[in-house]
C-alpha cells in the first residue's frame, strides 16, 4: 500500500509496495566537503528520475569532528532515511570504524587504500573498493577535491552516466570556469578508475535514467521560508541558533529581491520585539529560533496575544534541556510551546510533517495569525528542517492571502474600538496612522478602546473574548489525517516529522503486514482536533473480533502528544515507540518495530 497516495482520510485498497531503496553515505572530517558532495549526489539521482531524502549528522563544533551525509534513494516518493547503508564513502579511517556495523550484507565501501589501512575488519560480507582519492585530487586542485573524486567513483559503482553529475556540477559552480574544469576532471578520474580497476563489481540495483516532471530538492527550513514569501512576508528577524539558522540565511539571501526586511538582531528578546513592532503597523512578520531562543521570546509571545498582534513564530526543535544537543533532533518542545508565557491566552500551533507541508502550512500560518489576531507557532525539528527531499515544484498560485478583519480608512467605524467585543472574539483592526483609527495598545489588560484597566468586568470580557478565537479556529482547522484503511487492526499515531519515517516504514513492509496498519498524523497541535482524533481512536471499537490497538510513535521520552490526547479526548494510548537519543526514526528500524507489534 503506497500510503503517500492516501490523503485527507481517503481510503485506498490499492497495494503498491516497492523494495527498490538504497542508502549512500559519505563521512569525514569537517572541511572535507561532506555536505556539498551529498547534495550533489542527491541532485544527480533526482535528475536521473529517482526520489531522494538526505540526512546529515555533525557535532556542535566550530571546526573538526566527524561529519556524515547520507542519501536514501527510491523509485517511489520517500520522506525519510534508513540506518542501513548500502554504499559507504570513507574519506578517513574514522568513517569505516564508526559505520561498518551499519552496512548491509553485500554493501560496498569506497576508500583510499594508500591513506587508510583496513587492519582487521570483522565484516567479510562487504566489499572494499580502493580508489586513490588523494592522488587524483592532487591532479585537480588539492585535497579539497577528494570528495569530488569520490562522487565520480560512486557514479561508476551505481552505473549511471557521468554526464548527469557533470551537469549538476556545472550548475552549482556556474560562472566559475576554472572551478568547473577542476571538478569535472576530478569526477572523471574517479569514474574511470572504478570502471578500469573494479569492473567486476556489480551493484545490486540496476539503475536507469528516466524523465520525470520538474521537481525540487529542498530542506524543510527553505520550504518554510518559501511559504512565508509566498504569503507576503514583509519583515523577518532572527538570532542565529541551530537548527533554525538556515531560515535566516535563506531569507537574508532573498530579502532584497523579494522586498523583505531581514534583521539579524542582538538576541531573541530583540527579535520578537522587532517583529511585534513590524506586525503592529501592518507588516506580515515572522521570527525563527530553537528552544532556548524561544524561551527568551516567551514574554513577547504574551504581548502578541494580549495586544492581539498577528505574528508567526518558527521553533525548530533540538534536544534539551538548556544547551542540550544543538545539532541533533527531538520533539520535546510540544508542552513548552503550548504553555509558554505567563497567564492564559490563545495561540495556534502547527506541526508540518514533511517538506510539502512546510511550504503550505507556513503560508497558512500568516492567514491564521491575521484572521485570529493571535500568535501562530510552527513547530518543526532538526530532522525536518535540514533534511532535503525531492518534491514537486510548489504551487504558489494556490496560496491565497487572507488579512482577516483588517480595516481601511474608508471602513473604520465611528468611535472605533480596537478590542471591541465580537461573537468570534476577533475585533476589526485598524493600523497606526489611519484616520479615525486611533487606539491605545500596550501590555496591560484593557478596555475595548485599549486603555489599561483593572476593572473586574472588563477583565472577564476580554479574557472570554480572546478565548473565543480558539473555538472559531478549531472549526477552521483540519489537523488530523488518516493514512490507510479505517478497518486496520493497529492505528499508529504521531505528529510532525515522524510522518515520513512511519509512512516509509509501512511502504517497506509486505502488503499482508502493512494492511494491518493505518496511521493517524496530527499536524495541528493546538487547538487539538479532538473530534477527529476521537473518531479514529475509539479504543472500544471491535474489528474482526479483536480490539483495535493504538500505538504512539514520538521523538521524545514522555509521550507528550499522548498526554495531550488523553487530556483533550480521554483516549489513553499506552503502547508507545519512543526515541530520544537525538536521532530521528529510521524507516527500516520502524518497519521491524511494526512487525514485532504483530
Rounded CA separation 371/366 (Å): 8
pLDDT exceeds 70 at position 12? no
Through-space distance between the first and last CA atoms of the chain, rounded to whole angstroms? 18
Rounded CA separation 530/406 (Å): 30
Rounded CA separation 309/206 (Å): 56
| pLDDT confidence of residue 10 | 30
Most confident of 8-17, 203-212, 224-233: 224-233
pLDDT exceeds 90 at position 592? yes
The separation between CA 352 and the C-alpha centre of its own chain, rounded to angstroms, equals 7
2 pLDDT band (50/70/90 cuts)?
low
Share of the chain above pLDDT 90, in %: 87
540 pLDDT band (50/70/90 cuts)?
low
Instruction: Return the sign of the alpha-carbon dihedral for residues 142, 110, 49, 482.
Output: negative
Q: Which residue has the higher pLDDT, 41 or 15?
A: 41
| pLDDT confidence of residue 156 | 96
Strand 127-130 relative to strand 103-111: parallel, antiparallel, unpaired? Answer: parallel
Per-residue pLDDT tens digits for 380-401: 999 999 999 999 999 999 999 9
Which residues does 480 contact at the CB level (< 8 Å), separation at least 6?
520, 521, 522, 523, 524, 529, 532, 533, 536
DSSP string, 528-568: --HHHHHHH--TT-EETTEEPEEEEEESSSS-HHHHHHHHH
| pLDDT confidence of residue 17 | 40
Q: What is the mean pLDDT of residues 569-584?
A: 96
Share of the chain above pLDDT 70, in %: 95
Rounded CA separation 376/362 (Å): 10
C-beta of residue 347 within 8 angstroms of C-beta of residue 375? yes
pLDDT exceeds 90 at position 1? no
pLDDT exceeds 90 at position 478? no
| pLDDT confidence of residue 3 | 60
Per-residue pLDDT tens digits for 255-298: 999 999 999 999 999 999 999 999 999 999 999 999 999 999 99
Rounded CA separation 142/145 (Å): 6
Cβ count near 324 (within 10 Å) = 17
Tell me phi and psi for residue 361, to 5 degrees: -75, -30
Rounded CA separation 543/176 (Å): 64
Rounded CA separation 171/185 (Å): 16
| pLDDT confidence of residue 330 | 97
DSSP at 289:
E
CA distances (Å), origin 50, targets 47, 53, 71, 356, 515? 7, 10, 11, 17, 26
Rounded CA separation 295/317 (Å): 12
Cβ count near 113 (within 10 Å) = 13
Per-residue pLDDT tens digits for 38-54: 999 999 999 999 999 99
pLDDT exceeds 50 at position 90? yes
- Catalogue all structural domains in the chain, each as residue range(s) with its CATH number: 21-197 (3.40.920.10), 217-398 (3.40.50.970), 405-477 (no CATH), 480-597 (3.40.50.920)
C-beta of residue 361 within 8 angstroms of C-beta of residue 462? no
Q: What is the mean pLDDT of residues 408-416?
A: 94
Cβ count near 460 (within 10 Å) = 10
Per-residue pLDDT tens digits for 332-377: 999 999 999 999 999 999 999 999 999 999 999 999 999 999 999 9
Q: What is the H or E stretch that residue 392 is in?
A: strand 388-392
CA distances (Å), origin 357, targets 52, 98, 526? 17, 34, 17
Per-residue pLDDT tens digits for 179-200: 999 999 999 999 999 999 998 8
pLDDT exceeds 70 at position 151? yes
DSSP string, 241-281: -TTSHHHHHHHHHHHHHHT-EEEE-SSHHHHHHHHHHHHHT
The conformational region for residue 165 under phi > 0 = left, psi -120 to 50 = alpha, else beta, is: alpha
Q: What share of the chain is helix, strand, coil (3-state, %, to 5)?
A: 40, 20, 40
Q: Give SS3 for 482.
A: strand
Q: What is the mean pLDDT of residues 302-313?
A: 98
Q: Any idea how long the chain is?
A: 598
| pLDDT confidence of residue 544 | 55
In the block, cell 520502524 appears at: 590
| pLDDT confidence of residue 11 | 29
Q: What is the mean pLDDT of residues 307-314?
A: 98
| pLDDT confidence of residue 30 | 87
The overall average pLDDT reported for the chain is 93
C-beta of residue 4 within 8 angstroms of C-beta of residue 503? yes
Amino acid at each position: 500500500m503506497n500510503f503517500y497516495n492516501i490523503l485527507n482520510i481517503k481510503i485506498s485498497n490499492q497495494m503498491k509496495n516497492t523494495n527498490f531503496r538504497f542508502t549512500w553515505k559519505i563521512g569525514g572530517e569537517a572541511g572535507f566537503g561532506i555536505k556539498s558532495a551529498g547534495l550533489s549526489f542527491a541532485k544527480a539521482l533526482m535528475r536521473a528520475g529517482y526520489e531522494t531524502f538526505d540526512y546529515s549528522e555533525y557535532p556542535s563544533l566550530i571546526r573538526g569532528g566527524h561529519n556524515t551525509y547520507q542519501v536514501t534513494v527510491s523509485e517511489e516518493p520517500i520522506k525519510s532515511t534508513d540506518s542501513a547503508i548500502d554504499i559507504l564513502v570513507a574519506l578517513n579511517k574514522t568513517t569505516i570504524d564508526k559505520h561498518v556495523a551499519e552496512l548491509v550484507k553485500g554493501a560496498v565501501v569506497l576508500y583510499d587504500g594508500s591513506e587508510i589501512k583496513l587492519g582487521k575488519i570483522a565484516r567479510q560480507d562487504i566489499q572494499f573498493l580502493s580508489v586513490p582519492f588523494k592522488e587524483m585530487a592532487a591532479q585537480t586542485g588539492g585535497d579539497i577535491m577528494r570528495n569530488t573524486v569520490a562522487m565520480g567513483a560512486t557514479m561508476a559503482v551505481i552505473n549511471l552516466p557521468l554526464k548527469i553529475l557533470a551537469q549538476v556540477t556545472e550548475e552549482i559552480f556556474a560562472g566559475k570556469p576554472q572551478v568547473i574544469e577542476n571538478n569535472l576532471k576530478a569526477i572523471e578520474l574517479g569514474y574511470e578508475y572504478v570502471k578500469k580497476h573494479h569492473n567486476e563489481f556489480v551493484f545490486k540495483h540496476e539503475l536507469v535514467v528516466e524523465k520525470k516532471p520538474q521537481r525540487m530538492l529542498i530542506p524543510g527550513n527553505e520550504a518554510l521560508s518559501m511559504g512565508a514569501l509566498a504569503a507576503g512576508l514583509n519583515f523577518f528577524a532572527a538570532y542565529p541558533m541551530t537548527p533554525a539558522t538556515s531560515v535566516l540565511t535563506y531569507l537574508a539571501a532573498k530579502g532584497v529581491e523579494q522586498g523583505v526586511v531581514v534583521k539579524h538582531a542582538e538576541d531573541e528578546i530583540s527579535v520578537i520585539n522587532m517583529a511585534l513592532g513590524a506586525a503592529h503597523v501592518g507588516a506580515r512578520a515572522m521570527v525563527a529560533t530553537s528552544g532556548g531562543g524561544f524561551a527568551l521570546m516567551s514574554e513577547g509571545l504574551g504581548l502578541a496575544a494580549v495586544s492581539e498582534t498577528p505574528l508567526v513564530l518558527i521553533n525548530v526543535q533540538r534536544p534539551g534541556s538548556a544547551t542540550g544537543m544543538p545539532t541533533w533532533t527531538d520533539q520535546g518542545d510540544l508542552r513548552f510551546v503550548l504553555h509558554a508565557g505567563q497567564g492564559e491566552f490563545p495561540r495556534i500551533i502547527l506541526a508540518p510533517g514533511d517538506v510539502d507541508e512546510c511550504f503550505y502550512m507556513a503560508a497558512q500560518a500568516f492567514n491564521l495569525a491575521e484572521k485570529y489576531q493571535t500568535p501562530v507557532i510552527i513547530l518543526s525539528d532538526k530532522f525536518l528542517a535540514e533534511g532535503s527531499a525531492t518534491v514537486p515544484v510548489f504551487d504558489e498560485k494556490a496560496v491565497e492571502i487572507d488579512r482577516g478583519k483588517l480595516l481601511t480608512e474608508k471602513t473604520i467605524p465611528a468611535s472605533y474600538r480596537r478590542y471591541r467585543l465580537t461573537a468570534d472574539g476577533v475585533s476589526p483592526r485598524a493600523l497606526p496612522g489611519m484616520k479615525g483609527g486611533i487606539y491605545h495598545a500596550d501590555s496591560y489588560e484593557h478596555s475595548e478602546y485599549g486603555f489599561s484597566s483593572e476593572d473586574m468586568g472588563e477583565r472577564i470580557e476580554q479574557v472570554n473574548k480572546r478565548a473565543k478565537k480558539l473555538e472559531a479556529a478549531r472549526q477552521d482547522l483540519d489537523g488530523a489525517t488518516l493514512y490507510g484503511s479505517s478497518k486496520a487492526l493497529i492505528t499508529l499515531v504521531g505528529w510532525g516529522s515522524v510522518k515520513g519515517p512511519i509512512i516509509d516504514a509501512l511502504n517497506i513492509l509486505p502488503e499482508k503486514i502493512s494492511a494491518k496498519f493505518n496511521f493517524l498524523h496530527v499536524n495541528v497541535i493546538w487547538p487539538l482536533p479532538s473530534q477527529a482524533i476521537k473518531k479514529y481512536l475509539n479504543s472500544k471499537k471491535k474489528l474482526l473480533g479483536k480490539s483495535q490497538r493504538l500505538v504512539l510513535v514520538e521523538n521524545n521520552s514522555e509521550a507528550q502528544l499522548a498526554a495531550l490526547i488523553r487530556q483533550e479526548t480521554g483516549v489513553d494510548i499506552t503502547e508507545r515507540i519512543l526515541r530520544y537519543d537525538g536521532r530521528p526514526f529510521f524507516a527500516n528500524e520502524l518497519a521491524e518495530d511494526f512487525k514485532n507489534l504483530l
